[in-house]
Amino acid sequence: MPKPLQNKTALVTGASKGLGKAIAMRLARDGAAVVVNYASDKAGAEDAVYQIVKGGGRAYALQGDISKVANIRKMFVDMEKAGFKSVDILINNAGVYPAGGLEDATEEIFDRIFDVNVKGLLFTTQEAVKRMPEGGRIVNISTDLVRVSVPAISVYSSSKGAVNVMTQDFAAALGSRRITVNAVSPGLTMTEGTSGMMTDSEWVVGYVKDTALGRMAEPRDIADVVAFLCTDDARWVTAQIIEASGGYRLGAEK
């Protein structure tokens, strides 16, 4: 029986660890050839490729810091040289999230967040759609923090608000080509990037308590939702911000 993403090529940005790595491995399991993008963690990207190939899949590690447009364009040139001339699936996962709110935000923090989370996503998508056939899939990774007030990370949350707007606008722009564009909005997810805030955190304990399913997400929980949006079964789903938070703000009072 053919796999749902057989003969498809997927580019996953920021795929050397955490959620991006889980998504890359899930798409490979579904039959896609996966380009594992990374900015600096070459070892992590190569480990993702190793695990995919070990499982019988096809993968390629590709360096590219998407905070600079020139780097993005070079990344796609390098993809073509490696034999990946088209992109059927784009997962805009790369992101940074240093703390920064009204009182402590700096120009450096603002630029770092928006250069990757917003500018990088925009211009990576721009280059990808030049190489994307009809019926392609674009999935952006957002966050449920766009609807939860956490003042200490308001710059990060704002960048994801921009991602949500672009998701819907890109869907409208690309609909005539049958390219779907959606965003997955995870709740609190256990990754290398968030592990530092997990230990005995009062906020984390409160978050889990207020989640209907009573736990934090694991990367595979989110990767499975992303994978569905990449299949033909999701062909009629576009311009959607799909929350994958385990029912945050629906938790029963303990």
Question: DSSP readout, 146-167?
Answer: GGS--GGGHHHHHHHHHHHHHH
Nearest-CA neighbor of 38 among 56, 58, 21, 55?
A: 21
CB 131 within 8 A of CB 73: no
Residue 248 is a catalytic residue: no
What is the C-alpha to C-alpha distance for residues 67 and 158, in angstroms, rounded to an integer? 17
Catalytic residue among 38, 60, 97, 156: 156
Q: b/e map of 100-120 (b: 16 or more CB within 10 Å)?
A: beeeebeeebeebbbbbbbbb
**Strand segments (E) across the chain:** 9-12, 33-38, 59-63, 89-92, 137-141, 180-186, 241-244
Catalytic residues: 156
